[in-house]
Amino acid sequence: MNRQELLKKLGDYLDLGQKKRRKNVKDLKVLLKKLKQQENKLIAKCRDLSSGNKRKMLKGEIAILHTKRKKGLKALKKLIRA
């Protein structure tokens, strides 16, 4: 093990909150990536539909996903800064 790995391990033992934050950051990144993929799928599906109620409903779902993802990105930035 090199010096950086040893220092990281020591830091993990001394500051358990930091280890938990790193895990939360990883989990949040995975979740945000999945949300983005779903949003892109809905956008593609919306492009294929002609105008109508179903397209309007899809646009509403896209807006909700986009807003939630933006909120998640803000939380991720906050976790990284802490």
Residue type, 15: D
Claim: this prediction has a pTM higher than 0.85 = no
pLDDT of 14? 64
- Confidence band (pLDDT; 50, 70, 90) for 17? confident
Distance of CA 71 to the CA centre of its chain: 9
Residue with the larger pLDDT of the pair 80 and 10: 80
Region 17-34: what's the mean pLDDT? 86
pLDDT, tens only, 29-50: 999 999 999 999 999 999 988 8
Which stretches of the chain are DSSP H helices?
Answer: 3-14, 16-48, 53-81
Provide the residue ranges of all domains of the chain, joining segments of one domain with +. 3-81
